[in-house]
Copies of this chain bind each other. A is one copy, B any other.
Amino acid sequence: MQAGKPILYSYFRSSCSWRVRIALALKSIDYEMVTVNLIKDGGQQFSEEFQALNPMKQVPALKIDGITIGQSLAIIEYLEETRPTPRLLPQDPKKRAHVRMISDLIASGIQPLQNLSVLKQVGQEKQLSWAQQAISSGFNALERILQSTAGKYCVGDEVSMADLCLVPQVANADRYKVDLTPYPTISRISKSLLTLEAFQVSHPCRQPDTPPELRA
């Protein structure tokens, strides 16, 4: 069923796509990328072709080993189970629970409330304050949790799935002008992770679909 290289459906600015790009980079998985522009043509994710692939009309989606998986954390867990090196979940079940709790806090508790489709519904004038409120509220909790779980990274000193969620969420916080001063642990860990190659090559400013003015 291994039908050639995995194909990642990605949008440069999608924080959920970035999570998966980091996982693929860390695990040195060779893949092809198909870019899906969430803005152009009213949103390419709404095409019949893409909906057949991912009925949620969202990126990322990964075609791999003969199946197509949507939802970034489901993709990362699958990669972890089938390509376990280097691991993105610690061996100890309690630490794994911390990694998943932090990942879910971001993936269910913050990101969905400030994604593009929700902000559209909220309306132009309230968008910024809505996004800031969602992120600050989540970061207040996250900062407190990290104070007991973090070492060099979110959980101890090994890069984990939680870190793959953290960095893209901090980038969204920057984008929505959230003051990060109250979150020294979040800021420290995110900065430290951004020095790693896997976080750099997967960065929104270095993707094939990054517009020239946003490249770095």
Residues of chain B within 8 A (CB-CB) of A82 are 93
Residues of chain B within 8 A (CB-CB) of A101 are 69-71, 74
Contact A97 B67 (CB under 8 A): yes
Query: Least Cβ distance of A135 to chain B in Å?
Result: 13
Residues of A whose CB lies within 8 Å of any CB of B are 54-58, 65-67, 69-75, 77-78, 81-82, 93-94, 96-98, 100-101, 103-105, 107-109, 111-113, 118, 121, 130, 133, 138, 140-142, 144-145
Residues of chain B within 8 A (CB-CB) of A73 are 100, 104, 108
* 12 A–B pairs (Cβ distance < 8 Å), ordered by A: A55-B145, A56-B105, A58-B109, A67-B98, A71-B101, A74-B101, A74-B104, A77-B97, A81-B96, A107-B108, A108-B112, A112-B113
Out of B54, B66, B93, which one reaches A81, CB within 8 Å?
B93
With A111-B108, A112-B109 in contact, do A74 and B55 touch (Cβ < 8 Å)?
Answer: no
Copies of this chain in the oligomer:
2
Between A66, A111, A113, the greatest number of chain B beta carbons within 10 A of the residue's beta carbon is seen for A113
Report the separation of the CA atoms of residues A97 and B78 in the bound assembly, to the nearest whole angstrom: 6
Residues of chain B within 8 A (CB-CB) of A105 are 56, 70-71
Report the separation of the CA atoms of residues A54 and B101 in the bound assembly, to the nearest whole angstrom: 11
Q: In the A-B complex, list the 6 residue pairs whose CB atoms are closest, starting with the nearest.
A: A74-B100, A71-B104, A55-B141, A55-B144, A74-B101, A78-B97
